[in-house]
Chains A and B, each alone.
Chain A
Amino acid sequence: METSERLPQEHRKLFRERMNLGVWFKSGEPWVWLTATAVGTSIIAVLGLIGIIAVKGLAHFWPADVITFEYESELGEQQISGEVVQRERVPRAQFEESGAGRAIDISGDPTRLMIKSGNRRVNPPDFRWIYTHDITKQEKQQDLITFERLEWGNAYGTIVELRQDGNAVSTVNPWRELKKRIGRVVDLRRQAKSIQNRSIDRINYKLEKLRLKQRKRELQGNFNTSDLDWQREQLNQEYALREHELNDINVELDRDTVVIAIAGGRESVIPLKNIVRAWQPNAMNVFSKFGHYCASIWAFLSEGSREANTEGGVFPALFGTVLMVLLMSVLVTPFGVVAAVYLREYARQGVFVRLIRIAVNNLAGVPSIVYGVFGLGFFVYLVGGTIDSVFFQAAKPAPTFGTPGLIWASLTLALLTVPVVIVSTEEGLTRIPKSLREGSLALGATKAETLFKVVLPMASPSMLTGVILAIARAAGEVAPLMLVGVVKLAPTLPVDGNFPFLHLDRKFMHLGFHIYDVGYQSPNVDAARPLVFATALLLVIIIIVLNLTAITLRNRLEARYREAMN
């Protein structure tokens, strides 16, 4: 009896609650929460992504302290100096199972450090793990020097002796003397490079041109080459002269060496010509460390890579990426705009145009590697091959344009991105008010005049939107590029001082491919890892900068035309 009386009451309560929930749902508030959560998640994902890349990439350039460790190992007492690049906890089970570590007398999970100990040639490996419980002693030696070398990676050690032509140099302050002599080597290297670039490369380029000219004449049945021989003779003489200068510099470069003591009691002789820079991290204060940090980042941006891309900078890849994207924009914009103008302004709107439009939209969905294959087959082999057999007969069998290169990569990406330019330009054209077109026509303008003077300027923000989308897509694309022009290591930049200055036929380097190459194809994974992050960060920044530039431009134009649009 009691229960049946209480039941309706409870029912009512339940009902009321449900009603409340129903009201809450109807108010739309859950959707607000849902959408806000989605937005929040996306923002966190983006910030987290950039954050991780930024932290890992930027930390690499900080001049880390070099610590000298003494530790126990199976081989007995060991000593190494190096930078701590990673610290991680190893689950105890895994540690015991591996059997690698020695028996330990601590409880909990052991911790291990990854030490970048350098000195790859005399004391490999240059990266090694040590367990913290094995360490018996650690200290920071103030006079420890980090050497960044052209070959063999970093070296860590203290100066034993400076040598000039094999004889010890007596000096009160060997560190200052060393720095002075490294400065001299840097100068000499710069001179040598300038002779190489300005003279020797240029002479080689001219000699190659001469060879092609001669070959061309021979193909035409003209064997009179006396004028060419004379020119060649001149060039060869100059070449000999320059080579001589270069040899002198090389002799000078070989003059100095430094003997260093490395951890574990060994010594190592480093020729100064092999040193990029040297610093004493443990003796530096925060400000000089910061100065060094900035210099390292600049070196990363402005220098070429060394040691199979695991050391040095990314300048050629940076340059190649930006140049390729710019070239792509220059190619895709007129093409996309002209196509859109035809489709929207001139073509009779009907089934056929609608089919074309559908095809264009679907083109945007084709996987990019397919474009790469197409670019290789069509641009490189067909177009490039034809160009070669018509204009570069003399260079055969070596291909000039019939091989992957900058122009083909740019064209392939232009093709890949042309749909977005067409679509957004068309959208812009439809948004131009009819009244403005009529106003122009009523003043006696032809259709073309109206198009150029009124319609296209007003549609320019939409075109730029298309270009922005194109850039965003093209700059991040790697797969098709590997087929049509990007290489792991390009011997020359696509722009140099030899006529015609921009060499569209050259192969080039690209940040996206560089990341892949450094990350996956590298012979020294540990050394390369920070560069992967730094390069990825750079690529992201470049895309952001290119986009922001275009977006600013677009917004300016949009502000100018906004009122006329309503």
Chain B
Amino acid sequence: MTENSAPSESVIASPSGVRLAAKLVGSTDTRSPSELPADDVCLKVSNLALFYGSKQSLNEISMRIPRQRVTAVIGPSGCGKSTLIRCFNRMNDLIDGVSITGRIELNGLEIHDEDVDVAQLRRQVGMVFQRPNPFPKSVYENVAYGLRLAGKVPKSELDDRVEWGLKSAALWDEVHDRLNDSALGLSGGQQQRLVIARAIAVEPSVLLLDEPASALDPISTLKIEELIADLKTRYTIVIVTHNMQQAARVSDFTAFLYLGELIEFDSTLKIFTNPSESKTEDYVTGRYG
């Protein structure tokens, strides 16, 4: 971990740096996602297009997101990264004037089907936002929030699940003696891990992280990255980031998005060492960004 976290921006930000980057990539997976057997696909996106009113923000995107791996989504800001992952838990439904075409299958089931319960879907596909957004309630109540929504849970079971959630998010040791204090008293990094604990407490199968560390200091960022490495054995993780080293460090697969189009989606190793598209290479070497 410590070897990976040190390098500065400039390492990758030069054409020769691409080769150097190979050493920084955490994952050894070299398969292309398109070669995955159907069983290993968690989210299957086909011909997804999205319009905000008349403005198109996603254009014919197709990708197969592998199960229990970390998939990074990179691209310049405004290219549609957030928009894309917000499609996976149908958060875009909340915005007036959005229209979506194409298919998204979660474990083989189309999420836009009429009989899909959106609340149920969102419990399966958890989401963590850029800025920590704990509720103005106690630490305990924050984690219990999603559990209570699912129905009445006995107090002892609730306690267990809250503890489990906080432990999974590597926060238990820091907060176990102040579960009843306001969550707003925690530091930014702790808040973000609390939000992750809140999301995993309801036991989703997919975790969407939208630039989860961009508002945090380096140490907290490190902790979040460690946490992601821990969690990927249990969850399918999709992380949006604008930090290339982060994508390289934490992810197994990387998708490069540009102006609403999916330019390239491949193993992280390939994207950072030997991308097929020149646009990808330009981006990861820092020619635009």
**Chain A residues near B (Cβ < 8 Å):** 433, 435-436, 438-446, 449, 453-454, 457-458, 560-561, 563-564
Residue contact B149 to A442, C-beta cutoff 8 Å: no
Q: Which residue of B lies closest to A444 (CB)?
A: B123
Residue contact A443 to B136, C-beta cutoff 8 Å: no
Note all chain A residues with C-beta closer than 8 A to B122: 441-444
Interface string of B160-202 (1 = CB under 8 A from A): 0000000000000000000000101000000000010011001
A contact patch SS: helix
Q: Is residue B120 contacting chain A, with contact meaning CB distance below 8 A?
A: yes
Residue contact B120 to A439, C-beta cutoff 8 Å: no
Interface centre among A439, A445, A561, A563 (most CB of B within 10 A): A439
Residue contact A435 to B133, C-beta cutoff 8 Å: yes
Residue contact A446 to B136, C-beta cutoff 8 Å: no
Note all chain A residues with C-beta closer than 8 A to B202: 443-444
Note all chain B residues with C-beta closer than 8 A to A564: 134-136, 184
- Give CA–CA (A517, B115) in the complex, Å: 68
What would 12 more interface pairs be, CB under 8 Å, given A439-B135, A560-B182?
A439-B129, A442-B122, A442-B126, A443-B123, A443-B126, A444-B119, A444-B146, A445-B149, A446-B119, A449-B149, A453-B145, A561-B136
- Give CA–CA (A443, B201) in the complex, Å: 10
List 6 A-B pairs, minimum CB-CB distance, nearest first: A444-B123, A564-B136, A443-B146, A435-B133, A442-B127, A563-B184
Residue contact A443 to B199, C-beta cutoff 8 Å: yes
- Give CA–CA (A325, B146) in the complex, Å: 40
Q: Decide yes or no: A438 and B129 within 8 Å by CB, A443-B199, A564-B135 being known contacts.
A: yes
Q: Is residue B131 contacting chain A, with contact meaning CB distance below 8 A?
A: yes
Residue contact B133 to A438, C-beta cutoff 8 Å: yes
- Give CA–CA (A564, B198) in the complex, Å: 17
Interface string of B195-223 (1 = CB under 8 A from A): 10011001000000000000000000000
Q: Within the complex, what minimum Cβ distance (angstroms) separates B91 from chain A?
A: 7
Residue contact A440 to B184, C-beta cutoff 8 Å: no
Note all chain B residues with C-beta closer than 8 A to A443: 122-123, 126, 145-146, 149, 198-199, 202
Q: In the complex, which of the residues B131, B136, B198 contacts A563, with contact meaning CB atoms closer than 8 Å? A: B136
Q: Decide yes or no: A439 and B136 within 8 Å by CB, A444-B123, A444-B150 being known contacts.
A: no
Q: Is residue B6 contacting chain A, with contact meaning CB distance below 8 A?
A: no
Q: Which residue of B lies closest to A449 (CB)?
A: B149
Q: Within the complex, what minimum Cβ distance (angstroms) separates B274 from chain A?
A: 36
- Give CA–CA (A458, B136) in the complex, Å: 8
Interface string of B105-140 (1 = CB under 8 A from A): 000000000000001111100110101011110000
Note all chain B residues with C-beta closer than 8 A to A449: 149
Q: Is residue B241 contacting chain A, with contact meaning CB distance below 8 A?
A: no
Q: Which residue of B lies closest to A447 (CB)?
A: B94
Q: Is residue B89 contacting chain A, with contact meaning CB distance below 8 A?
A: yes
Q: In the complex, which of the residues A436, A439, A445 contacts B119, with contact meaning CB atoms closer than 8 Å? A: A445
Note all chain A residues with C-beta closer than 8 A to B134: 439, 564
- Give CA–CA (A445, B148) in the complex, Å: 10
- Give CA–CA (A299, B244) in the complex, Å: 80
- Give CA–CA (A440, B127) in the complex, Å: 10
Q: Within the complex, what minimum Cβ distance (angstroms) separates B131 from chain A?
A: 6
Q: Decide yes or no: A436 and B129 within 8 Å by CB, A441-B91, A453-B145 being known contacts.
A: no
Q: What are 17 pairs between A and B in contact, CB < 8 Å? A: A435-B131, A435-B133, A438-B94, A438-B133, A439-B133, A439-B134, A439-B135, A440-B135, A442-B126, A442-B129, A443-B149, A444-B119, A444-B120, A445-B145, A458-B136, A563-B184, A564-B134
Q: Within the complex, what minimum Cβ distance (angstroms) separates B117 from chain A?
A: 9
Q: Within the complex, what minimum Cβ distance (angstroms) separates A249 from chain B?
A: 60
Q: Within the complex, what minimum Cβ distance (angstroms) separates A558 from chain B?
A: 11
